[in-house]
């Protein structure tokens, strides 16, 4: 098999490293990968005391780790696919070379077909992995948008120390308002008792001490409860000023939080958009593998009859491209992982 592979490899020019790379989409894929890595890093480095935002940042960090794991796995699979692509080209060239027997081609065909199915399965797993990362990020983004709308409508929906302080001040204000109303009523009652008691002094000298006691008691009651009313009124007004100040702080905090969430959503949108390029890359590989499997199964069902020259040339050209794409993909992903290491070490 080694001699067989070496012989045809020279015929196909696979060892020629000076060939022109006709897959310029790898450059855009590399840019997308590097950008996605940086966006992930920016999201992961964010810190926020808000429980909701802190939880979303934690979820993004988790997906960042999944993304890096996917990148490492994809490099291994792409390396295998690149080597497999060379074998497919070898097989395609051998089919048009009469020096190879039908039996040799059938043996190589079965191996090639089996490996094609294995590669397709692994490639579909990689596509599912990156799709899962994208789906989770979309979910985080939707939740952030909903939360922004909620706190825009009701700032107190935030889990904030300002909200807690504001609610405490409002509770105290209600207590002072009640005390103020009670004190004012009691003061009026005490004064009224004094006035009613006054007429009882009409010439009855023995009643004077009793009446004086009633009048004095009424005035004391009026004075004490009046002081309570005035004090409660002052405290009520003071709390009202504090509540107004806290409301202003709450609105400022709400607006700043919404701005941070919008920035976070912008990073997520960029990651999701860039991940689409990666998804498209694996979609192309799956399509190519499916096409190859169909051709190989047709060849196998024809008892090893050689495919036409046009078919073999098509396979050869296509899988030469796959080999280059996978090698470029590996370089791109390794560079992106290096970016990850540099960003996370800053």
Share of the chain above pLDDT 90, in %: 18
| pLDDT tens-digit readout, 42-56 | 887 788 888 899 999
Determine the pLDDT at residue 23: 40
Determine the pLDDT at residue 237: 66
Across 108-134, average pLDDT: 90
User: What's the CA gap between 133 and 66, in Å, rounded?
Assistant: 7
Q: Do 36 and 274 touch, CB atoms closer than 8 A?
A: yes
Question: Between these two residues, 336 and 260, which has the higher pLDDT value?
Answer: 260
User: What's the CA gap between 186 and 67, in Å, rounded?
Assistant: 71
| pLDDT tens-digit readout, 266-304 | 889 988 988 888 888 888 888 888 988 888 888 777 765
User: What's the CA gap between 151 and 153, in Å, rounded?
Assistant: 5
Structural domain boundaries in the chain = 21-157+271-345, 161-252
| pLDDT tens-digit readout, 85-94 | 888 888 888 8
Residue 51 makes CB contacts below 8 A (sequence gap 6+) with 159
Residue 153 makes CB contacts below 8 A (sequence gap 6+) with none
Asked if pLDDT for residue 329 goes beyond 70, the answer is: yes
User: What's the CA gap between 300 and 59, in Å, rounded?
Assistant: 49
User: What's the CA gap between 85 and 73, in Å, rounded?
Assistant: 18
Instruction: For residue 280, give both structure tokens.
Output: 């498209």
Entry pTM: 0.69
């Amino acid at each position: 098999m080694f001699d067989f592979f070496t012989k045809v490899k020279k015929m196909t020019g696979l060892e020629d490293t000076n060939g022109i790379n006709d897959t310029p989409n790898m450059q855009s894929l590399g840019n997308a990968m590097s950008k996605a890595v940086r966006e992930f890093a920016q999201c992961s480095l964010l810190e926020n005391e808000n429980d909701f935002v802190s939880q979303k940042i934690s979820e993004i960090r988790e997906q960042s780790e999944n993304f890096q794991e996917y990148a490492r796995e994809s490099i291994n699979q792409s390396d295998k696919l690149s080597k497999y692509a060379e074998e497919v080209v070898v097989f395609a060239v051998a089919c048009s070379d009469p020096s190879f027997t039908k039996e040799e081609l059938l043996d190589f065909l079965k191996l090639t077909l089996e490996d094609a199915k294995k590669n397709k399965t692994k490639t579909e797993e990689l596509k599912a992995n990156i799709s899962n990362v994208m789906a989770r990020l979309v979910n985080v983004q939707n939740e952030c948008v909903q939360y922004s709308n909620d706190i825009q409508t009701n700032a107190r929906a935030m889990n904030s120390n300002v909200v807690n302080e504001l609610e405490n001040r409002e509770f105290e204000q209600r207590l002072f308002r009640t005390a103020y109303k009670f004190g004012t009523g009691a003061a009026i009652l005490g004064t009224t008792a004094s006035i009613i008691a006054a007429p009882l002094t009409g010439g009855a000298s023995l009643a004077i001490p009793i009446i004086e006691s009633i009048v004095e008691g009424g005035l004391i009651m009026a004075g004490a409860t009046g002081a309570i009313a005035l004090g409660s009124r002052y405290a009520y007004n003071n709390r009202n000023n504090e509540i107004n100040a806290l409301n202003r702080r709450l609105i400022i905090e709400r607006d700043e939080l919404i701005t941070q969430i919008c920035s976070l959503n912008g990073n997520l949108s960029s990651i999701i958009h860039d991940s689409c390029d990666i998804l498209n890359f694996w979609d192309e590989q799956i399509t190519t593998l499916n096409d190859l499997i169909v051709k190989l199964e047709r060849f196998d069902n024809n008892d090893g009859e050689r495919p036409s020259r046009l078919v073999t040339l098509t396979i050869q050209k296509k899988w030469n491209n796959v080999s280059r794409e996978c090698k470029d993909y590996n370089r791109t992903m390794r560079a992106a992982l290096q970016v990850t290491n540099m960003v996370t070490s800053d």
